[in-house]
Amino acid sequence: MLLIVPPVAKPCEPPAGIARLAGVLHAHGIPCRLFDANLEGMLALLAQPPTVTDTWSRRAGRSRERHLAALRDPRSYGTPDRYRRAVGDLNRLLAVAAKEYGATAGLADYQHATLSPLRSADLLAAAERPEQNPFYPFFSRRLPELLDDHAAAPVRVAGFSLNFLSQALCTFAMIGFLRRRYPAVRIVLGGGLVTSWLARPGWRTPFAGVVDDLIAGPGELPLLELAGAAPTEECRALPAYGSLPLADYLSPGVILPYSAAGGCWWNRCSFCPERAEGNPYRPLPPTRAGEELRALTTAHRPGLIHLLDNAVSPALLRELAQTPPGAPWYGFVRFGPELADEEFCHALRRSGCVMLRLGLESGDQGVLDRLQKGIDLGMASRVLTNLRRAGIATYCYLLFGTPAEDEAAARRTLEFVVAHREAIRFLNLAVFNMPAFGEEAAEYGTEPFYAGDLSLYTGFRHPRGWDRQRVRRFLNREFARHPAVAAILRNDPPCFTSNHAPFFGGE
């Protein structure tokens, strides 16, 4: 099997999904190879001489290698201007390289002038004309190198991990190339975005004849079945990161991603895509997760561990506090009573915790209650204070324009952020998207939002008239311009955002 991560996603850490699948396949004696076409493809695109001769592109081209080295150098993260110049220039080079193909590529995004990842017809068009993709010169060379390697086992299955819309068009371009050049290879498509597609009511695949199998959720069992292997009872093994180019990712040291659970342990929030898709919570026992983390740390000596769980459970937090994983770490957590204990926060810091991502969503208690967030603002205030005192950076997520919010509530969120500006290191501001197939959507008069048969969201009529246009105007003209908020927003690393934020977490 050949397991592939396609462009474009942030190239700062190895892909956790295919590493996890490879660990299980290897444990069952099934040979497989990993191909991070995202990282390799970006580096190949960056290596091309700029096709335009403006001053910015010439300067960026001359500094290409220095910028790549800077993103791998810890010292750059102590000089934000140097970091921002490197990111900006590399983005410029990617954009210039993709322009002649009618596309815009960057370190974290990919868009096409006429093709949309939300339309199945456009994805099929990308598969029919792979040579029109800016990564075609790269993958049309690299895929045959992998599939025609006579020293390795022949590739019978090519599995693509499609998690983000920014990967969809490039994924289908690569699939189209394989279909044309290697018609006998079985094409399997899985990942987070595919799981969301398959959760749509009445889903019928538009990709018959192009994709052989679509897999929802964990792919271990389906891949073992395709290989004709009988799965062991547990069907779990350590992720196999060793064959990936760990030294080439754009981060200062290896960032090791790790998932201890699928789904969300809280799973009560209104309008949550996880609930809308019916994804179950599947945790590892905390002691087992801790053992795996320590084994991976010993094997790979990461500079940072990235916990991928939708929300790290209190039980796993306690395990990490009691038995540290052996490297700095960060992850997404809920505001909860355990973090309202200052000593526990200090224990987390001693265990290596350098940053926590927290979904506050709103600074209005009524909004939080109606969204069933289970967050008390008084407790949230104590949590933020405790984490600041413990030396743990916070990356807070705010969500504006939910049906529970109005303009007055949004202003109370601004007041909460300003009051806690010393404790909030980073902020993410988002405008609410209504999941198209959630149980709540029908209550609000849905209407077209994104054009395309693969859209997962819908427009709606806000019960308080707090529509997207008004929300964006408030965010741009008032919220983001407040001096306290503007200072926090300036901390956010461009492009890489929370993935690089732990390296900027210090005061």
Residues 6+ apart with CB under 8 A from 106: 8, 91, 94, 95, 495
pLDDT confidence of residue 448? 65
Question: Can you give the pLDDT of all 507 residues of the chain as single tens digits?
Answer: 999 999 999 999 999 999 999 999 999 999 999 999 999 999 999 999 888 779 999 999 999 999 999 999 999 999 999 999 999 999 999 999 999 999 999 999 999 999 999 999 999 999 999 999 999 999 999 999 999 987 778 899 999 999 999 999 999 999 999 999 999 999 999 999 999 999 988 899 999 999 999 999 999 999 999 998 887 766 789 999 999 999 999 999 999 999 999 888 887 887 777 766 677 888 899 999 999 999 999 999 999 999 999 999 999 999 999 999 999 999 999 999 999 999 999 999 999 999 999 999 999 999 999 999 999 999 999 999 999 999 999 999 999 999 999 999 999 999 999 999 999 999 999 999 988 877 776 677 666 666 789 998 888 889 999 999 999 999 999 999 999 999 999 999 999 999 999 999 654
> What is the DSSP track for 381-434?
HHHHHHHHHHT-EEEEEEEE--TT--HHHHHHHHHHHHHTTTT--EEEEEE--E
Q: Which residues of 104-130 are buried (b: 16+ CB within 10 A; e: fewer)?
A: bbbbbbbbbeebbbbbbebbbbbbeeb
Please tell me what DSSP assigns to residue 429: E
CA nearest to 147, candidates 45, 35, 242: 35
Please tell me what DSSP assigns to residue 249: S
Quote the CA–CA distance of 345 and 153 in Å, as a whole number.
Answer: 49
pLDDT confidence of residue 449? 65
CA nearest to 499, candidates 354, 349, 346: 354
Quote the CA–CA distance of 223 and 215 in Å, as a whole number.
Answer: 9
Residue with tokens 């009573």: 337
pLDDT confidence of residue 272? 75
Query: Burial of 53 by CB count in 10 Å (0-12 exposed, 13-18 middle, 19+ buried)?
Result: exposed
Quote the CA–CA distance of 93 and 327 in Å, as a whole number.
Answer: 34
pLDDT confidence of residue 53? 78
Q: Report yes or no: 1 and 219 within 8 Å, Cβ to Cβ.
A: no
Please tell me what DSSP assigns to residue 281: P
- Positive/negative CA dihedral, 13, 16, 18, 21: positive
Q: Report yes or no: 266 and 44 within 8 Å, Cβ to Cβ.
A: no
Q: Report yes or no: 146 and 33 within 8 Å, Cβ to Cβ.
A: yes
Domains of the chain: 2-226 (no CATH), 253-504 (3.80.30.20)
Quote the CA–CA distance of 503 and 141 in Å, as a whole number.
Answer: 35
pLDDT confidence of residue 281? 87
Quote the CA–CA distance of 262 and 244 in Å, as a whole number.
Answer: 23
Query: Burial of 379 by CB count in 10 Å (0-12 exposed, 13-18 middle, 19+ buried)?
Result: middle
> What is residue 473's three-state secondary structure?
helix
pLDDT confidence of residue 181? 97
Query: Where do runs of H (alpha helix) occur along 206-351?
Result: 220-226, 273-277, 286-300, 314-322, 342-351
Quote the CA–CA distance of 64 and 59 in Å, as a whole number.
Answer: 9
| Two structure tokens written together for 95 | 């954009």
CA nearest to 31, candidates 213, 156, 186, 145: 156
pLDDT confidence of residue 156? 94
Q: Which amino acid is at 145?
A: E
How far is CA 379 from each of CA 106, 307, 395, rounded to the nearest angstrom? 39, 24, 17
